[in-house]
Each structure stands twice: as C-alpha cells, then as structure tokens.
Amino acid sequence: MKTLYLLITLSQNAAGDINAAFVNTETLEQCQQKSVLVENIFKSSSIPVLESRCTKTNLKFSEFGHAANSRDIRYFYHISFNDNSTNIITMTDWKSCMLQKKNNVKHKKVYCSSSVQSVR
C-alpha cells in the first residue's frame, strides 16, 4: 500500500460536537496547500478549527461531502495527537469513542469526532 499524506481537519459545530474532514494527498506540499485552503473555507464560515494537521498514513478516506441532513450516515473516529504521531481509530458509535478517550493517557490531544467520510 502506498504511503500518502492525510490532512486531518477537526472543526467544532455550534452544538460543540467535533467533526472531522479528511483529504488524502500524494505529497506533503499538496497537503499543506490543501490545509490552507480548507482552513480559510472554515474560517470564512465562522466555523472554529480545533486542529489541522498533515500526517503520513496508509489510510485512505472517501471523498468529502457535506451531510444533506442529520440522518445521513456518520462515522466515528477516536483521533489522538502527540508531537510526532497521529492515531486514528474507527469507532462504532459516539459512546464507545468517549469511553476510549477517557482511557487514553498516552497522547497529549485526544478527540472524538464524527464524519461523513469512511475509511476505504
């Protein structure tokens, strides 16, 4: 499997929920360019960006698309960051993610997020 770069953008909606957006790129330079573009889109819409990072990964995500309504399928991810590492775990639901987050003491920043994107 080819190693790619993944842009991970975590934003917070008005209800306080954390949403994840993922963009796969072939190079770090492409990832950084996408990061600037995506952050500007969120900021112009007054959506707070909590994290925006490029990281090497073997994971590939489906293309980003906005949820048409709140009943659209959501995927849940436990995402943790350290200075030099990123860990993404697919979770079955929000509650499982929150339990995993509570037990995670190895990473500095830990988030439970939902996304309309799935791992391919």
Mean pLDDT, to the nearest integer, of 39-68?
A: 88
- By the 8 A CB rule, do 112 and 69 touch? no
Where do we find the tokens 């990832």? Answer: 31
Whether pTM > 0.75 for this model: the answer is: yes
pLDDT tier at 36 (50, 70, 90 boundaries)?
very high
> Under 8 Å CB-to-CB from 57, ≥6 apart: which residues?
3, 4, 5, 6, 86, 88
Residue 67 has a pLDDT of 57
Mean pLDDT, to the nearest integer, of 31-38?
A: 95
Mean pLDDT, to the nearest integer, of 54-81?
A: 82
